[in-house]
Amino acid sequence: MNTITALQQRKSVRSFQDKHVDTETINAILSAASCAPSGANTQPWQVAVVSGETKKSIQTKIENNFRQGQHGNADYQYYPKSWHNPYKIRRIQCGRLMYNTLDIGRQDKQRRLDQWAANYRAFDAPVMLLFFLDKILFPGSFLDYGMFLQSIMLAAIDKGLATCPQASLSEYPEIIKSALGYPDDTILVGGMALGYEDKGARVNRYRTPRENISSFTRYFS
């Protein structure tokens, strides 16, 4: 598969098969992704590969907190406090596509809650990747991290695996750091679901649209 095809085929998958992903495959993906560029070759990424009983324990604690209305305290603010167009309409459209695909109406608050709670289980994927960054580093390292995460997702496609990058998994850093032994002077950047796509699942049928390049590109000569 060439790179452009992989970029076009990548999608956020929200339902996975109950199928083991072996360590050798995960290591091959991470090894390939580690070739991603970073400023001054700092390679700021720190990755926790979480599965099995450890994953169950972490996701149960987080989901329980969420369902009890105990909001997490993320290490950094991912989204703006006030939304403006065109970002506001894109965000609304993204949620609408998913809920319409699942036939979840606006008034069906319980099903909406249940669907959001699935975020904290990494959509029941067999593997949850969690990404950390030293607090001494500055925003440039977030740019480096973005290239690393995209590289993971493309390498996963090459191995026949699916992914879903998740900002939601950064919302409860205290629970995750305590469970995994990461120090307070790290930033929990986010997470990623990793596994084999359940291609029969309805939630995996929709695709979010992309803007035409004319809307974000200017040529100068």
pLDDT (mean) for 179-190: 98
The identity of residue 221, as a single letter, is S
| Tens-place pLDDT, residues 81-103 | 999 999 999 999 999 999 999 99
Which three-class secondary structure string do you get for 57-94? HHHHHHHHHHHCCCCCCCCCCCCCCCCCCCHHHHHHHH
Any idea what DSSP says for residue 204? G
User: What phi and psi, each to the nearest 5 degrees, are found at residue 211?
Assistant: -70, 145
Answer whether residue 135 shows pLDDT above 90.
Answer: yes
Q: What whole-number percentage of the chain has pLDDT above 70?
A: 100
Question: Which domains can be identified in the chain, with CATH numbers?
Answer: 8-79+120-207 (3.40.109.10)
Answer whether residue 154 shows pLDDT above 90.
Answer: yes
pLDDT (mean) for 7-24: 97
CB atoms within 10 A of CB 121: 18
Answer whether residue 12 shows pLDDT above 90.
Answer: yes
Q: What are the structure tokens assigned to 105, written together?
A: 């109406």
Any idea what DSSP says for residue 124? G
Name the residue among 14, 34, 8, 4 with its Cα closest to residue 194.
Answer: 14
| Tens-place pLDDT, residues 106-116 | 999 999 999 99
Q: Assign 46 to helix, strand or coil.
A: strand
Q: What confidence score (pLDDT) does residue 1 get? A: 78
CB atoms within 10 A of CB 201: 15
Name the residue among 109, 93, 113 with its Cα closest to residue 101.
Answer: 93
Q: Assign 200 to helix, strand or coil.
A: coil
Model confidence, pTM: 0.96
- pLDDT interval class at 131 (50, 70, 90): very high
Alpha helices in 86-191 (DSSP H): 87-101, 109-117, 140-158, 173-180
pLDDT mean across residues, the chain: 97
